Amino acid sequence: MKEKILIVEDEKDIVKMLDYNLKKEGFRPLAVCDGEHALDLATREQPGLVILDLMLPGMDGLEVCKNLKKDAKTASIPVIMLTAKSQESDKVIGLELGADDYVTKPFSPRELIARIKAVLRRVKEKDKLPEVLKTGDLIIDLSKITASVKGKPVELTAKEFELLKALIKAKGRVLSRDYLLDNIWGFEHSMGIQTRTVDVHIRTLRKKLKNESKRIVTVKNYGYRFDDED
């Protein structure tokens, strides 16, 4: 069955262009031009992803995103923001509301399709993971987004949790700083976030994990790996 992609856009030329390119790539596009219909269609059709324009008549894209993410029926649907606005504040707000990526107009269809595939790939990989990951004295619960060492809770930020999850999931493979930025920070990376951000988060993560911190191994001039051997 073809993956459904919901386009929420009021510019007919852009809808036509997206419809053509999505069909060409084997997707099944659905399109609406306003926020209220977008919420209704997302609930009924359960698309694999939403391409959401920020500037819409009536309810704007940020409000649509907020409503999608607070409704249990649509909260897990990934969202790519599409807008003519390029201000950093818009990108930050989109991220805080739960958007998965951000594309600024004008854009190339090829780039957007690549981003759609990347987001869908991350979602599918996430769905394959068991709900609880255990290694040594460390346990992370993916459904509850919690971590503990020797049964004691470890308070992690969202990015620290995603970083730890990525390292454990890699099963000893080395993950480069660029890989971690692309997969955890997503479109924030395109806003100028540097590789040193990863180092800072690794440092605070190690402090919080205490005895288990030695499992996070630095690979000089490249990145990090998680030692899964007990």
Could you report the per-residue pLDDT of 47-75, keeping only the tens digit for each? 999 999 988 999 999 999 999 988 878 98
Q: Which CATH number fits domain 130-226: 2.40.30.10, 1.25.40.10, 1.10.10.10, 2.40.50.140?
A: 1.10.10.10
The amino acid sitting at 203 is R
When comparing pLDDT for 114 and 196, which is higher?
A: 114
- Domain(s) labelled CATH 3.40.50.2300 in the chain stretch across 4-127
If pLDDT is split at 50, 70 and 90, which confidence band does 190 have?
very low
| Cα 180 to Cα 197: distance, rounded to the nearest angstrom | 10
Q: What architecture is domain 4-127?
A: 3-Layer(aba) Sandwich (3.40)
